[in-house]
């Protein structure tokens, strides 16, 4: 993100929050039409949105929000009465705002039809007696002030010196970014200075040794240049020198500049020594030079340079503002990087542990000491891992709450009465997992509303309450997150599903399936029992895609249903995508990782447990349950593996309602592993969900149980 | 004043700028890294190259992949696939020795390692010196070749990495 996109990006993030608040407040208002506090809340959110849109020059949105705000103001003052229809219009208007935001993000267009209809409807509500016209004059969409300023100023030349700290690149900053920003302001020429480059041998490729002088001819003022540099003030030496402003202090300015160059040169030579001694720099602080960090307190402005200082104060103020903030927005990819690094640390910790055991074998005393240290370190590393994970966790309420609107709209449109009960909205889950859960969740709820919940008359006939209930439940269990979507609708008849399965050719008539296995058919591609296709669901592409998405999150999906009682879908998800609990197994010469989430048990089968069936191939009899055997070495085409199940081990894995036995040579370990995506780098391998790095630096592939057993 | 002082500052800047531009003008064209495969020299845009490493101790084979995908390596925590360019181009398999180099190529954040016999040099290629690939005969499939250039009296075959690593190629690669 470039600095000048920051305000817009900030606005968009804020807008997302506001839209969500508007929506939940509107839904609340719908059942409490007279509640002033809700109306106030809606008004405030709309006002903030309008103002924000104006600030980032989104005038179309600002204007639209203004109309809404005016109407809300009238409702607030009691001039206009609040009705169900009005709330409906406001909800539609909120959708329209969403389309505005999408457009600003470059992801779509403004829904013009919706905009026109809502505007028309808004007009019909607003009281002609009150003064929308006056209002508009009184409060035009805020015009940004910047252009006015820049028009006033004429073309000026600035000499800019950029000396970033050596750690600049390590901090993730990029000088090129600064240049591209500056070049947008006007005509620019840059001279790179290599004088500080160290010897070839001493060169640290991660350090920045170059500095630059820049000549910039621009119509923009000093302030705009400062704005580009504001994010780099800390720890760097940045100088901006205005050259041809006829100004009283100019002689001083120029002198200061020359002095500055001399000082800078002097301080260069001494810089190494200086850093070691933590001696205050003898450099001057002319114009806007800013030195933040420790040195700021220590270095007094040098006495021989009287400095006209109007700019630095402003910069200071801005920086201080930032420091007051108690929570910060962080880009998710920064967290991803951080989490990856922590992952590396976890791996290295495992490596250290091995190493210290080796040391102990050679020198017991030394080994003991090292081991002690490594164990201490382990505690910190675990803590670090937990903490970073905590940071990434968000409450599931963020995806549960929008479901209210979906349920409401559906119920209104389809003459059904549906309540949505939400439990455990404060259950926390990794942000990425939570976001990717949204699609499947919408799908499952639509299914429940469309195929599950009956029309009120039908419900009454069956002795149920006329309003159906969908329950959305989230909870933590055994280190996983369980999400349940349950309805009290008509349920599914296993017999009918079986028949549909036969029609689709998924099973044959004579097959004996348990109810569990029958429900599993629903997850097969192209499966559907409904004959008619509705706009909401029933195209038969549903559940298999839900299953795929859940499995891509390394989760598991199960379904239970009883006729006339309802249906429940249960999702089991890992807390995070970055680190999973893994079972490390050996097959032939290679080591693989199985997600523990799919593992039920592991055992060494006895002779009598191994059965051969003509149709189903090899089965393992585990306490009366016959589970098909998959030889991993065959699936993965590996040599030198154990081929007799009695000599190796079978790991029982479960995907959905299905179980399989995987034949492996041995189980090596069970521990958290850091997932590395394979698709990141060109290659997708069927049967592999990713890779992880072992304690000795070697790579172990994480097996994708679902695609392994289905291929 | 001091208009003159300001002017002298500007002048000295401009002079310095001229020197700098003169210096830069000597290095025009595209920078290539050249490497050897069999008896031929190949060139690759240096901006595509992330780093060069020698053949590692541990190479993890990927089950069910064609021969030319040699396996995956752990590059400081990144798991990266490695292909053998000799095998990719249908040449005989070479021996991996101390000259063997894996060129880590980066295209749009994705990385892949390419095993080559050895790395030769870094050179500048002036655009007009390139010939179309149809004019030449070489051992490898011309679809991965952008053209041929004569650089310091050496024939260098220019490799089209983007195409080599294109979606279509990789789909085939995955099948």
Q: State ipTM.
A: 0.73
**Higher-scoring residue by pLDDT: A593, A199:** A593
Q: Quote the Cα angle for A165-A171-A173, to 5°.
A: 80
3-state SS, residue A475: strand
Burial class (CB in 10 A: 0-12, 13-18, 19+), A647: exposed
Task: Give the strands of the sheet with A590-595, arranged side by side.
Answer: A666-674, A579-587, A590-595, A699-703, A688-693
Q: Which residues of B touch A192 (CB under 8 A)?
A: 20
Q: What is the mean pLDDT of residues B91-118?
A: 88
Contacts of A347 in chain B (CB under 8 A): 77
Closest B-chain CA to A160:
B13
What's the confidence (pLDDT) of residue A471?
93
The Cα A342–Cα A346 span in angstroms is: 6
C-alpha–C-alpha distance, residues A37 and A30, integer Å: 13
Domain ranges in chain B? 46-174
Contact by Cβ (8 Å): A649, A666:
yes
Shortest CA gap A377–chain B (Å)? 20
* A315 has pLDDT over 50: no
Q: For A496-551, how does the pLDDT look when each residue is reduced to its tens digit (9 = 90+)?
A: 888 878 877 777 777 777 787 788 788 877 676 554 444 444 444 478 788 888 88
Q: Is the pLDDT of residue A317 over 90?
A: no
Residues of B in contact with A700 (CB under 8 A): 60
- Which residue matches tokens 């195209």? A539
Give the model confidence (pLDDT) of A466-500 as tens digits: 889 999 999 887 667 899 999 998 888 888 888 87
The more confidently predicted of residues B132 and A125 is: A125
The confidence score (pLDDT) of residue B36 equals 92
Query: What pLDDT is stored for residue A255 in this prediction?
Result: 55
pLDDT tens for A76-135 read: 888 888 888 888 889 989 999 998 888 888 888 888 888 888 888 888 887 655 444 434
Asked if B17 lies within 8 A of A257 by C-beta distance, the reply is: no
Nearest CB among A191, A347, A636 relative to B17 is that of A191
Question: Residues A319-327: what's their mean pLDDT?
Answer: 50
Nearest CA in chain B to A345: B77
Quick check: A347 and B77 CB within 8 A? yes
User: In chain A, which residue's Cα lies nearest the Cα of B5?
Assistant: A254
Inter-chain residue contact A699 with B1, CB threshold 8 Å? no
Residue B167 confidence class, pLDDT cut points 50, 70, 90: low
% residues pLDDT > 70 (chain A) = 79
Mean pLDDT, rounded, of chain A: 77
**Start-to-end C-alpha separation, chain B:** 75
Helix and strand totals (H; E) in chain B: 4, 11
Least confident of A151-165, A593-607, A618-632, A695-709: A151-165
pTM above 0.80, yes or no: no
| Of A525 and A67, more confident | A67
Q: How far apart are CA A237 and CA A335, in angstroms?
A: 29
pLDDT, tens digit, for every residue of B28-62?
A: 678 889 999 888 899 999 989 999 998 888 889 88
Q: Is A195 on the interface with B (CB under 8 A)?
A: no
Percent of chain A with pLDDT over 90: 8
The pLDDT of B54-80, averaged and rounded, is: 85
Output DSSP code: residue A237.
E
Examine the pLDDT at B171 and tell me if it is beyond 80: no
C-beta atoms of A257 and B9 within 8 A: yes
The minimum CA-CA distance between B155 and chain A, rounded to whole Å, is 30
Residues A357-379, mean pLDDT to the nearest whole number = 88
Nearest to B56 by CA among B76, B85, B34: B76
Whole-number Å distance between alpha carbons of A26 and A83: 12
A13 vs A6, A172, A632, CA distance in Å?
11, 23, 47
Q: Give me A72's structure tokens.
A: 């809300």
So what's the pLDDT on residue A501?
80
Q: By mean pLDDT, which of A212-216, A227-231, A419-423, A580-584 is the weakest? A: A227-231
With beta carbons less than 8 A apart as the criterion, state whether A632 and A664 touch: yes
Helices marked H in A576-641 — which ranges? 632-635
Which of A454, A442, A440, A444 is CA-nearest to residue A411? Answer: A454
Q: Is residue B27 very low, low, confident or very high in pLDDT (cuts 50, 70, 90)?
A: low
Question: What pLDDT, on a 0 to 100 scale, did the predictor assign at position A591?
Answer: 92
CB burial class (10 A; 0-12, 13-18, 19+) of residue A605? Answer: buried
Res A350 pLDDT > 60? yes
pLDDT band at A271 (very low <50, low <70, confident <90, very high): very low
Task: Report pLDDT for A532.
Answer: 43
Quickly state the pLDDT bin for B166 (edges 50, 70, 90).
Answer: low
pLDDT band at residue A190 using 50, 70 and 90 as cut-offs: confident
Query: What is the Cα–Cα distance from A269 to A287, expressed in whole angstroms?
Result: 23
Handedness of CA A40, A42, A46, A52 (dihedral sign): positive
Q: Quick one: pLDDT at residue A384? A: 87
Report d(CA A17, CA A327) in Å as an integer. 15
Residues of B in contact with A688 (CB under 8 A): 62-63
A408 and A95 Cβ atoms separated by less than 8 Å? no
The pLDDT value recorded for residue A256 is 55
Put simply, the answer to whether A192 touches B10 (Cβ < 8 Å) is no
Q: Does residue A435 carry a pLDDT above 80?
A: yes
- Mean pLDDT lowest for which of A182-196, A396-410, B103-117? A182-196
Q: What's the per-residue H, E or C state across A501-569?
A: HHHHCCCCCCCCCCHHHHHHHHHCCCCCCCCCCCCCCCCCCHHHHHHHHHHHCCCEEEEEEECCCEEEE
Residue A263: band (very low, low, confident or very high) from pLDDT cuts 50, 70, 90: low
Contact check, Cβ <8 Å, B74/A693: yes
pLDDT for res B139: 57
Residue A709's pLDDT is: 79
Going by pLDDT thresholds of 50, 70 and 90, the confidence category of residue B115 is very high
Nearest CA to A342 out of A391, A305, A308 is that of A391
Residues of B in contact with A676 (CB under 8 A): 78-79
- The whole-number average pLDDT for the span A296-308 is 44
Contacts for A339 with CB less than 8 Å, ≥ 6 apart: A388, A389, A392, A578, A579
Is A695:A353 a contact under the CB 8 Å cutoff?
A: yes
Least confident of A4-8, A54-58, A622-626: A4-8
Q: Are B101 and B51 in contact (CB under 8 A)?
A: no
Residue A539 CB-half CA count within 13 A:
8
- How far are the Cα atoms of B42, B85, B159, B160, B166 from residue B144, in angstroms, in the given order? 11, 11, 6, 5, 10
Q: What is the mean pLDDT of residues B149-173?
A: 74
A-B interface: how many C-beta pairs under 8 angstroms? 105
What the block records as the tokens of A146 is: 């910047």
What DSSP line would sit under B79-131, residue for residue? EEEEEEHHHHTTPPPPPP-TT-EEEEEEETTEEEEEEESEEEEEEEE-GGGEE
Question: Among candidates A164, A189, A337, A196, which has minimal Cα distance to A269?
Answer: A196
List all residues of chain A from 245 to 304 with a beta carbon under 8 Å from chain B.
Answer: 250-251, 254, 257-258
Backbone dihedral region for residue B64 (phi beyond 0: left; psi -120 to 50: alpha; all else: beta): left
Selected from 3.30.565.10, 3.40.50.300, 3.40.718.10, 3.90.190.20, the CATH number assigned to the domain covering A396-574 reads 3.30.565.10
pLDDT score of A589:
87
Strands A699-703 vs A590-595: parallel, antiparallel or unpaired: parallel
Q: Closest Cα partner for A490 from A413, A541, A384, A561?
A: A561
Q: What is the CATH code of the structural domain delimited by A3-144?
A: 1.20.120.160
A283 and A235 Cβ atoms separated by less than 8 Å: no
Each residue's pLDDT tens digit, A11-63: 888 888 888 888 888 888 888 888 888 888 888 888 888 888 887 888 888 88
Check whether A155 has a pLDDT greater than 90: no
Please state whether beta strands A566-574 and A579-587 pair in parallel, antiparallel, or not at all (unpaired): unpaired
Cα separation of A27 and A88, whole Å?
Answer: 9
On whether any CB of chain B is under 8 Å from the CB of A189, the answer is yes
- Residues on chain B touching A684 (C-beta within 8 angstroms): 174
Residue that the structure tokens 């170059």 belong to? A210
pLDDT at A681: 66
Question: Quick one: B46-174 is in which CATH superfamily?
Answer: CheA-289, Domain 4 (2.40.50.180)
Asked whether residue B79 carries a pLDDT value surpassing 70, the answer given is yes
The domain defined by A579-710 carries CATH number 2.40.50.180: yes
Q: Which residues of B touch A698 (CB under 8 A)?
A: 58, 60, 74
In what helix (H) or strand (E) does residue A15 lie, and over which residues does it extend? helix A6-31
């Amino acid at each position: 993100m470039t600095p000048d996109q920051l305000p817009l990006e900030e606005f968009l993030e804020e807008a997302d929050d506001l839209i969500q608040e508007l929506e939940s407040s509107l839904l609340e208002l719908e059942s409490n039409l007279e509640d002033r506090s809700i109306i106030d809340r809606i008004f405030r959110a709309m006002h903030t949105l309008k103002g924000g849109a104006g600030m980032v020059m989104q005038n179309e949105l600002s204007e639209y929000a203004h109309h809404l705000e005016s109407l809300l103001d009238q409702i607030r003052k009691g001039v206009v009465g609040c009705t169900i229809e009005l709330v409906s219009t406001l909800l539609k208007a909120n959708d329209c705002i969403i389309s505005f935001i999408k457009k600003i993000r470059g992801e779509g267009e403004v829904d013009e039809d919706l905009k026109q209809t809502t505007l028309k409807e808004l007009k019909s509500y607003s009281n002609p007696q009150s003064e929308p016209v006056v209002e508009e004059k009184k409060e035009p969409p805020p015009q940004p002030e910047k252009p006015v300023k820049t028009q006033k100023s004429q073309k000026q030349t600035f000499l800019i010196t950029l000396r970033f700290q050596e750690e600049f690149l390590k901090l993730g900053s990029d000088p090129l970014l600064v240049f591209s920003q500056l070049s947008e302001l006007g005509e620019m020429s840059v001279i790179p200075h290599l004088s500080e480059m160290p010897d070839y041998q001493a060169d640290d490729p991660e350090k920045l040794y170059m500095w630059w002088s820049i000549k910039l001819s621009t119509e923009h003022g000093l302030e705009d240049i400062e704005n580009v540099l504001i994010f780099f003030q800390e720890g760097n030496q940045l100088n901006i020198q205005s050259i041809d402003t006829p100004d009283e202090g100019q002689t001083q300015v120029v002198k200061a500049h020359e002095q500055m160059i001399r000082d800078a040169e002097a301080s260069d030579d001494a810089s190494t020594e200086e850093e070691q001694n933590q001696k205050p720099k003898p450099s001057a602080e002319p114009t806007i030079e800013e030195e933040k960090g420790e040195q700021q307190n220590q270095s007094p402005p040098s006495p021989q340079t009287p400095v006209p200082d109007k700019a630095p104060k402003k910069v200071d103020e801005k920086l201080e503002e930032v420091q007051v903030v108690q929570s910060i927005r962080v880009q998710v990819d920064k967290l991803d990087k951080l989490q990856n690094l922590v992952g590396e640390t976890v791996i290295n910790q495992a490596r250290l542990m091995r190493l210290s055991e080796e040391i102990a074998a050679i020198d017991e005393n030394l080994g003991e000491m090292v081991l002690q240290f490594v164990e201490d370190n382990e505690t910190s590393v675990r803590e670090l891992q937990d903490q970073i994970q905590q940071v990434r966790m968000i409450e599931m309420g963020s995806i549960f709450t929008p479901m209210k609107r979906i349920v409401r709209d559906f119920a209104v449109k389809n003459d059904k009465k549906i309540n949505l009960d939400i439990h455990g909205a404060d259950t926390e889950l990794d942000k990425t997992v939570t976001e990717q859960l949204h699609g499947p969740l919408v799908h499952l709820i639509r299914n429940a509303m469309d195929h599950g919940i009956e029309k009120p008359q039908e419900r009454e006939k069956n002795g149920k309450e006329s309003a159906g209930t969908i329950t959305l439940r989230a909870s933590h269990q055994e280190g996983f997150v369980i999400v349940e979507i349950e309805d009290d609708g008509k349920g599914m008849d296993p017999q009918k599903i079986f028949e549909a399965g036969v029609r689709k050719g998924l099973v044959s008539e004579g097959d004996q399936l348990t109810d569990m296995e029958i429900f599993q058919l629903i997850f097969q591609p192209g499966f559907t029992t409904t004959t008619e296709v509705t706009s909401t669901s029933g195209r038969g592409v549903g559940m298999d895609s839900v299953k795929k998405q859940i499995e891509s999150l390394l989760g598991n999906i199960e379904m239970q249903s009883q006729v006339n009682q309802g249906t429940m879908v249960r999702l089991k998800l890992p807390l995070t995508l970055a680190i999973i609990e893994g079972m490390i197994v050996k097959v032939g010469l290679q080591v693989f990782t199985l997600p523990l989430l799919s593992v039920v048990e592991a055992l060494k089968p006895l002779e009598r447990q191994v059965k051969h069936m003509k149709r189903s191939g090899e089965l393992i009899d585990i306490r009366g349950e016959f589970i098909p055997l998959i030889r991993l070495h065959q699936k993965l085409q590996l040599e030198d593996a154990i081929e007799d199940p009695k000599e190796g081990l079978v790991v029982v894995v479960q995907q959905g309602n299905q179980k399989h036995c995987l034949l492996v040579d041995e189980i090596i370990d069970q521990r958290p592993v850091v997932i590395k995506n394979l698709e990141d780098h060109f290659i997708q391998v069927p049967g592999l969900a990713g890779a992880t790095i072992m304690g000795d630096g070697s790579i172990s592939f994480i097996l994708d149980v679902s695609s392994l057993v289905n291929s | 004043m001091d208009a003159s002082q300001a002017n002298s500052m500007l002048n000295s800047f401009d002079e310095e700028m001229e020197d700098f531009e003169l210096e830069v003008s000597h290095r025009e064209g595209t920078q290539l890294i050249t490497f050897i495969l069999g008896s031929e020299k190949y060139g690759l845009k240096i901006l595509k190259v992330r780093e060069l490493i020698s053949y590692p101790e541990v190479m993890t084979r990927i089950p069910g992949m064609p021969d030319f995908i040699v396996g995956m390596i752990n590059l400081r925590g990144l798991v990266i696939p490695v292909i053998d360019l000799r095998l990719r181009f249908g040449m005989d398999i070479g021996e991996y020795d101390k000259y063997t180099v894996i060129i880590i190529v980066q295209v749009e954040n994705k990385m892949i390692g390419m095993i080559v016999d050895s790395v030769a040099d870094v050179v500048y290629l002036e655009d007009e010196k390139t010939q179309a690939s149809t004019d030449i005969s070489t051992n490898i499939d011309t679809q991965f070749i952008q053209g041929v250039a004569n650089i310091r009296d050496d024939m260098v075959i220019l490799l089209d990495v983007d195409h080599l690593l294109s979606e279509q190629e990789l789909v085939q690669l995955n099948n």
